Amino acid sequence: MILNSKLANELFRGFYIERWNDRIRPMMLTEMDKHGHKLVLAYCIGKYEETQGTKINWNLIFSDAIFEFLRRIIISDIKSPIYQEIKQNQEVFKKLNEYIFAQYEKIIPPQIFLNDFQNFLFNKNNRTSLEYRIIDAAHIYASYWEFKLVKCANPFQYQNEKIEREMMNRLMKYDDLIGIDKLQKNESITNFIDLCGQLRFQIRWAQTPRVPKTSVLGHIMLVTAITYLISLDLNCCDKRLYNNFFGALFHDLPEAVTRDIISPVKRSSEKLDNLITKLEKELADNEIFPYVEKNWIEELRYFTQNEFDNKIKFNGNTVNQFDAPITTKDISEKYNEDKFSPIDGEIIRFSDHYSAYLEAKNSIDAGIKSKELLDACDDMKAKYKNKTFAELKVFELYN
């Protein structure tokens, strides 16, 4: 397996890395949140380019986004202007990347993923292809979105003007991308990006003392990274990898309008759980989907409705069972083809639970623990005891 407990904890460090920490901030802004928002932006920008008939290599976007996230975890406190200067000096940048690779070489198993990460770090790339431009534009806009929050809290006008001017100059290079143009013109997609960005304001486990505090937006980033690494191990076809990645990214999208309803409350009554599901669907239809393009809505529904079911498309219909519920093993053996548009909701659910486990376990290890956190860890370890996905031993992640 690519993913192991050491790499999972390294991914989790994204919650500890604070951004804009030399400015007054109205709230803590973390690397994890920023990269979650960046992926939402990449989805939207990429979908707009697809509407023009352009074929997007989404796998390249996925790998580049995850590799850049891993790099940012290591370099953490280097300010963006300093980092841009370092990148201009090839010798210094190479030394920095050698240090980064040395850290991950200790914890990532020596296989294709590690080789690809090494190529990402050391291959000279002018990043002019459409896929790189999409992810780079998303990266800059996500930072600009954060800056607008920071700007309101900082009275230093000359600094604000300098930062904004530099950001706008960087963003102008991507004005030819339809999505960036629409965001600059404040069209309705801006409201969708804002709604998703506001998921960083929603704190998980809100009633339980815990460190670090984690947001819904950061949580979906961690779930997406975990789902992606497991999906690579399963040798998913392109459409399955695409569905798993964005299914994980948008699995909590309805919480943009419902807020984070804790699992014990949802599970307290089957009728309540069904009612919440019904309300989430109605609110998504009324308060989220009107802001996105109409031809995206069916796909977003595929990601967000019954989001933890394994599903395929069969004869034009969404199917989650035949004689019995479809398993990940079934998908790997029978439906791992683009024509079936498979999605492993079961893996997204595991990643969701494992992310919650990491949230609880890191707090306990830091000395902030409660019965709720201890019980959550025990329950999740018991739930996935001896669990495999198509012979992939995910239960080992709890050892």
169 shares a domain with 88: yes
247 shares a domain with 130: no
Q: How far is CA 156 from the centre of its chain?
A: 33
Give 38: exposed, middle or buried? Use CB within 10 Å, 0-12, 13-18, 19+: buried
So what's the pLDDT on residue 38? Answer: 98
Q: Structural domain of residue 356, as residue ranges?
A: 216-398
Q: Is residue 122 part of a domain?
A: yes
Q: Which of 171, 201, 231 is the last residue of a domain?
A: 201
**Contact (Cβ atoms closer than 8 angstroms) between residue 243 and residue 337:** no
pLDDT confidence band for 266 (50 / 70 / 90): low
Whether residue 272 is predicted with pLDDT greater than 80 in this model: the reply is no
Per residue in 21-33, pLDDT (tens digit) is 889 999 999 999 9
CATH number for position 375: 1.10.3210.10
**With b meaning 16 or more CB within 10 Å and e meaning fewer, what string describes 188-217?**
ebbebbebbbbbbebbbbeebebebbbbbb
Q: Is residue 208 part of a domain?
A: no
227 shares a domain with 183: no
Q: Is residue 207 part of a domain?
A: no
Per residue in 168-198, pLDDT (tens digit) is 999 999 999 999 999 999 999 999 999 999 9
Whether residue 311 is predicted with pLDDT greater than 80 in this model: the reply is yes
Q: Which of 132, 167, 201 is the last residue of a domain?
A: 201
186 shares a domain with 143: yes
345 shares a domain with 292: yes
224 shares a domain with 188: no
234 shares a domain with 91: no
Per residue in 35-81, pLDDT (tens digit) is 999 999 999 999 999 999 999 999 999 999 999 999 999 998 787 77
Q: Is residue 163 part of a domain?
A: yes
Q: Is residue 157 part of a domain?
A: yes
Least confident stretch, 171-180, 253-262, 362-371:
253-262
pTM: predicted TM-score of the whole model, two decimal places: 0.94
Per residue in 81-111, pLDDT (tens digit) is 788 888 889 899 999 999 999 999 999 998 8
165 shares a domain with 96: yes
Whether residue 200 is predicted with pLDDT greater than 90 in this model: the reply is yes
Per residue in 325-358, pLDDT (tens digit) is 999 999 999 999 999 999 999 999 999 999 999 9
134 shares a domain with 162: yes
220 shares a domain with 165: no
185 shares a domain with 223: no
3-class secondary structure for the chain? Answer: CCCCHHHHHHHHHHHCCECCCCCCCCCCCEHHHHHHHHHHHHHHHHHHHHCCCCCCCHHHHHHHHHHHHHHHHHHCCCCHHHHHHHHHCHHHHHHHHHHHHHHHHCCCCCCHHHHHHHHHHHCCCCCCCHHHHHHHHHHHHHHHHHHHHHHHHCCCHHHHHHHHHHHHHHHHCCCCCHHHHHHHCCCCHHHHHHHHHHHHHCECCCCCCCCCCCEHHHHHHHHHHHHHHHHHHCCCCHHHHHHHHHHHHCCCCCHHHHCCCCHHHHHCCHHHHHHHHHHHHHHHHHHCHHHCCHHHHHHHHHHHCCCCCEEEEECCEEECECCCECCHHHHHHHHCCHHHCCEEHHHHHHHHHHHHHHHHHHHHHCCCCCHHHHHHHHHHHHHCCCCCECCECHHHHHC
**Contact (Cβ atoms closer than 8 angstroms) between residue 175 and residue 181:** yes
Q: Which of 145, 173, 201 is the last residue of a domain?
A: 201
| Total domains present in the chain | 2
Q: Is residue 53 part of a domain?
A: yes
Per residue in 232-257, pLDDT (tens digit) is 999 999 999 999 999 999 999 988 88
Q: Is residue 159 part of a domain?
A: yes
35 shares a domain with 91: yes
Q: Is residue 366 part of a domain?
A: yes
pLDDT confidence band for 259 (50 / 70 / 90): low
Whether residue 273 is predicted with pLDDT greater than 90 in this model: the reply is no
